[in-house]
């Protein structure tokens, strides 16, 4: 993702057009695209501010509101899988993809991996001994 043009350039472009020059002349003079000049004039008229909008995804997650509930479920059930958490959330009327739940758990520092116990752990140990 590219960086936004500096605020000084934005102000100079708008001032140049307000002096009576055309948008195309401004684009040639400042070596920017005509679309950029057009967007700056629209932004200036609508909000009177030329500051660049924030780029990228909004902060937070869909699941931020359910953080306590999810933490409690992981603590109570211990070995809960992503799919099980998705089903529990769906029962509460909140449809979410398992990857979203996985990223959210990772951000919280919680693990949803099963502990290596039982037959699988014993089989792995048998192979190493052979």
Render pLDDT for 73-86 as a digit per residue (tens, 0 to 9): 888 877 778 888 88
What are 42-95's pLDDT values in tens digits? 999 998 789 988 888 777 778 888 888 888 888 887 777 888 888 888 888 888
Considering only residues 118 and 103, tell me which one the structure prediction assigns the higher pLDDT. Answer: 103
Judge residue 19's burial from the number of C-beta atoms within 10 Å of its C-beta, 0-12 exposed, 13-18 middle, 19 or more buried. exposed
In this prediction the pTM is 0.50
Q: Give the pLDDT confidence score for residue 112 in this predicted structure.
A: 56
| C-beta of residue 32 within 8 angstroms of C-beta of residue 5 | yes
More confident residue, 60 or 126: 60
The pLDDT value recorded for residue 11 is: 96
Domain regions of the chain by residue span = 7-47, 64-108
Q: Is residue 119 scored above 90 in pLDDT?
A: no
Confidence tier at 127 by pLDDT (50, 70, 90): low
For 22-37, how does the pLDDT look when each residue is reduced to its tens digit (9 = 90+)? 999 999 999 999 999 9
pLDDT surpassing 80 at residue 120: no
Is residue 127 classed exposed, middle or buried when 0-12, 13-18 and 19+ CB atoms within 10 A define those classes? exposed
Res 113: pLDDT: 59
Dihedral through CA 58, CA 64, CA 65, CA 69, nearest 10? 170
């Amino acid at each position: 993702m590219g960086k936004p043009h500096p605020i000084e350039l934005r102000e100079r472009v708008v001032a140049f057009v307000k002096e009576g020059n055309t948008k195309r002349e401004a684009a040639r003079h400042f070596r920017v695209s005509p679309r950029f000049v057009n967007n700056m004039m629209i932004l200036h008229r609508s909000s009177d501010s030329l500051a660049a909008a924030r780029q990228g995804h909004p902060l937070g997650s869909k699941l931020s509101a359910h953080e306590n509930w999810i933490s409690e479920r992981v603590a109570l059930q211990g070995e809960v899988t992503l799919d099980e958490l998705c089903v529990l959330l769906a029962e509460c009327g909140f449809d979410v993809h398992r990857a979203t739940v996985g990223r959210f758990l990772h951000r919280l520092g919680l693990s949803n991996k099963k502990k290596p116990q039982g037959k699988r752990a014993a089989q792995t140990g048998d192979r190493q001994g052979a």
